[in-house]
């Protein structure tokens, strides 16, 4: 099953002469495959380099206009996969786009930390960033009908939506793929950072986040549990975020005393990665964490949709000290939209304190009956 990636359209839209497009995403989300599709669509002559290949390093080693012009020749489109692996790549790209007329550049990276460090300052004003995620339901829906989507929902909640899963026919093979992906690929970028020595603590922290998905996390408490400092917990969480394993959501408040804002909620970019970290692939009807899976799935799918459609909002959760709460708040142009996630057909109404504090906000329950309207 071939699935058209929406990020490809964004890349094509944003490629401009003497500009750099940065495609960011975790390892194995399909960046290399997207590049192949892109090369089939563009009319310019393309030079492809791979940051994991030492020969590509050697070709770019001499940082001079003469070297880069000799390398590119009449090429007007340069692609560098895993660009963060190439030393001083930001300064080298700046020199290229400043001195080589009409050159378009696409680079990909699996570590936002490394990419931002290397590209950020040199390419200010010259760089546009696009995120690539595991396959979104908005992408699946181009190739599957409504019944197929409903039948696939349980697998999406448990196994997630990494592209390779579509090519693995049996469930055991999919589970093994996810375990291998976590152990040999996703954590590779984390362990590569200088000063990362406590691998057991890193795994334990990810497991804590998995078990507490969608819950507020006290970093002091987690640090005590793992016998590491709060600063170390923060450092690890930042690294997990930069390699696209997890992301955080802050609490919403307009300076009302009863609203909680100090702690963040943490989610996984992909449900399958979350479940692989705690080795939990049981069917939904035997699980006690269906609510967590549903919340994680809907939040992540909503983010994918908003990213690919470039409908940018500020997103939060809302909770009070009296334990009234809402799973997701979106703020755009001073308008608030509130969403509460319910996997079953549980009746719910807008929390009274929220309704009183924000009478102009909209409120909607997202359940199995209407979730596709929310993420498509």
Q: What is the mean pLDDT of residues 11-16?
A: 96
Please state whether beta strands 46-50 and 335-341 pair in parallel, antiparallel, or not at all (unpaired): unpaired
Contact partners, residue 170, CB within 8 Å, separation at least 6: none
Residues 205-227 have pLDDT tens digits of 999 999 999 999 999 999 999 99
The reported pLDDT for the residue numbered 195 is: 65
The reported pLDDT for the residue numbered 102 is: 95
Q: For the residues of 152-168, what is the DSSP string, one character each?
A: HHHHHHHH---GGGGG-
Residues 303-331 have pLDDT tens digits of 999 999 999 999 999 999 999 999 999 99
The reported pLDDT for the residue numbered 211 is: 98
Which domains does the chain carry?
6-131 (3.40.50.300), 137-375 (1.10.10.10)
pLDDT > 70? residue 113:
no
Strand ranges for 146-222 from DSSP E: 216-217
pTM of this structure: 0.94
CA-based nearest residue to 63, from 102, 99, 95? 95
User: In Å, what is the CA distance from 304 to each residue of 6, 195, 264, 301, 374?
Assistant: 10, 32, 20, 5, 11
Torsion on CA atoms 20, 269, 198, 189, rounded to nearest 10: -30
Please state whether beta strands 325-332 and 314-319 pair in parallel, antiparallel, or not at all (unpaired): antiparallel
- Crossing angle for the helix pair 6-14 and 31-41, nearest 10 degrees? 60
pLDDT band of 171, cuts 50, 70, 90? very high
- CA-CA distance, 74 to 102, in Å (whole number)? 10
Q: For the chain, what percent of residues have pLDDT higher than 90?
A: 84
Cβ atoms of 115 and 38 closer than 8 Å: no
CA-based nearest residue to 19, from 112, 98, 120, 82? 98
């Amino acid at each position: 099953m071939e699935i058209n990636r929406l990020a490809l359209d964004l890349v094509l839209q944003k490629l401009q002469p003497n500009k750099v497009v940065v495609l960011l995403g975790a390892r194995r989300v399909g960046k290399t495959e997207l590049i192949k599709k892109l090369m089939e669509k563009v009319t310019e002559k393309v030079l492809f380099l791979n940051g994991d290949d030492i020969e590509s390093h050697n070709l770019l080693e001499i940082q001079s206009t003469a070297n880069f012009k000799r390398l590119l020749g009449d090429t007007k489109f340069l692609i560098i996969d895993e660009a963060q692996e190439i030393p001083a790549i930001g300064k080298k790209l700046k020199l290229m786009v400043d001195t080589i007329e009409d050159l378009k550049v696409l680079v990909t990276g699996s570590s936002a930390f490394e990419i931002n460090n290397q590209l950020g300052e040199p390419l200010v004003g010259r760089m546009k960033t696009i995120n690539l995620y595991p396959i979104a339901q908005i992408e699946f829906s181009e190739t599957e009908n409504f019944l197929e989507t409903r039948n696939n929902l349980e697998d999406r909640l448990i196994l997630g939506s990494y592209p390779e899963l579509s090519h693995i026919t049996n469930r055991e093979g999919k589970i093994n793929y996810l375990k291998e992906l976590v152990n040999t690929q996703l954590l590779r970028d984390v362990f590569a950072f200088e000063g990362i020595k406590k691998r057991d603590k890193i795994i334990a922290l990810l497991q804590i986040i998995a078990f507490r998905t969608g819950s507020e996390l006290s970093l002091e408490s987690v640090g005590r549990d793992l016998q590491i400092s709060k600063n170390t917990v923060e450092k690890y969480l930042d690294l997990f975020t930069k390699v696209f394993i997890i992301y955080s959501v802050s609490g919403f408040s307009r300076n009302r005393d009863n609203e909680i804002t100090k702690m963040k909620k943490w989610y996984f970019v992909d449900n399958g990665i979350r479940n692989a970290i705690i080795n939990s692939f049981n069917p939904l009807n035997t699980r006690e964490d269906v609510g967590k899976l549903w919340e994680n799935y809907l939040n992540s799918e909503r983010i994918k949709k908003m990213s690919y459609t470039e409908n940018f909002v500020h997103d939060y959760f809302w909770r009070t000290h009296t334990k009234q709460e809402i799973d997701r708040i979106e703020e755009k142009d001073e308008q608030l939209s509130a969403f509460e996630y319910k996997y079953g057909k549980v009746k719910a109404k807008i929390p009274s304190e929220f309704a009183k504090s924000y009478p102009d906000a909209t409120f909607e329950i997202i359940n199995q009956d209407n979730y596709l309207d929310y993420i498509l």
